[in-house]
Structure 1
Amino acid sequence: MIAAADLAIRFARASFNRALAEGDLAAIGPLLSADVVMVTGTDSAVIAGRKAQLQAWKREFAAKARMIYARTPQTVSVSPVEPIAMELGVWQGVLGGIAQASGSYSAKWREVGGIWVIEAEIYVTMA
């Protein structure tokens, strides 16, 4: 069961990365819990709620020259007692094929109705 959850979370993260690369808001929404919280990497802005996060991505996708963000999980730890998991990894923002920013992140996931969704993410800009 833990291995299946790990795989499902990694698949969901890959889907999120693909949606970011393609500017696909419709694919991002189902990956976020209604009350998702994101703390951004550089200025620690808090983006609370699915609607607010989708608005932020919509603005990002509309930029003339926009960064493409990708998150790469290094570990996924699934709780044996609750339907939650912690993902730790590295992220990178690329513009025109050149890395502009990168760092570390953590994400808390929750299984809801058989689907893993992101509840919280914290990003730290390291480069």
Structure 2
Amino acid sequence: MSTAPDDAIRARRRLTNKLIAAKDAARLRPFFAPDVKLIVGDGALIVGADAMIDAFAGQFRDPDFVAYVRTPDSIELGADGERAVEHGRWIAQMKLAGALITYASGPYTAVWRKAVGQWTIEGELYVTLG
């Protein structure tokens, strides 16, 4: 029995959150389309899976970085069943003087496409509001 697209995307989002918290950049690669485009919270653009993995690896070298946590509010499936859009809220966490703090947060949108039977991210937009 196959998993419903909504459940599959939510499960993949939970797994990316865990891999980010584990600071495991290399294992994030299968979640991104080769030509992924990301607009980060300050408006900067990252293009391509290699650039995404390099950006994560750079952040993971910061000993105070803890995690990005993305929490989906809704997932809408395209008519063809091959694309979906996820809307939600995100937070960025770090350690400051030993305490866990949220240093940035806001809404996000992610575009997923089904490739070789697996959902991958083709684009994300993060907006820093907090």
Normalised by the shorter chain, which TM-score bucket? over 0.9
Aligned counterparts of 2:63 and 2:116: Cα–Cα separation in 1: 38
- Is residue 2:7 matched to residue 1:7? yes
Counterpart Cα distance in 1 of 2:75 and 2:27: 22
The equivalent of 1:112 in structure 2 is 115
Write the distance in 1 (CA, Å) between the matches of 2:26 and 2:19: 8
Distance 2:29 2:128 in 1: 24
Letter in 1 for 2:68: Y
Runs of 4+ in 1 over 6 A off after TM superposition: none
Amino acid at match of 1:16: T
- My pick for the range that moved more, 3-12 or 69-78, is 3-12
RMSD, aligned α-carbons = 1.4
Residue 124 (structure 1) aligned with residue 127 (structure 2): yes
Cα distance in 2, alignment partners of residues 81 and 112 from structure 1: 13
Structure with bigger helix share is: 1
SS of corresponding position for 1:126: coil
How far off its partner does 1:25 sit?
Answer: 1.5
Seq. identity, %: 35
Q: CA deviation at 1:82?
A: 4.5
Q: CA deviation at 1:64?
A: 2.8
* Residue identity opposite 2:22 in structure 1: E
Unaligned runs of 5+ in 1: none
Give the aligned residue type for 2:107: S
Count of aligned positions: 125
Task: Work out the CA distance in 2 between the residues paired with 1:112 and 1:69.
Answer: 25
TM-score (normalised: structure 1): 0.94
Residue of structure 1 equivalent to 2:65: 66
Q: Find the residue that maps to 1:125 and give its secondary structure.
A: coil
Aligned to 1:39: 39
Normalized against structure 2, the TM-score is what?
Answer: 0.92
1:88 match: 87
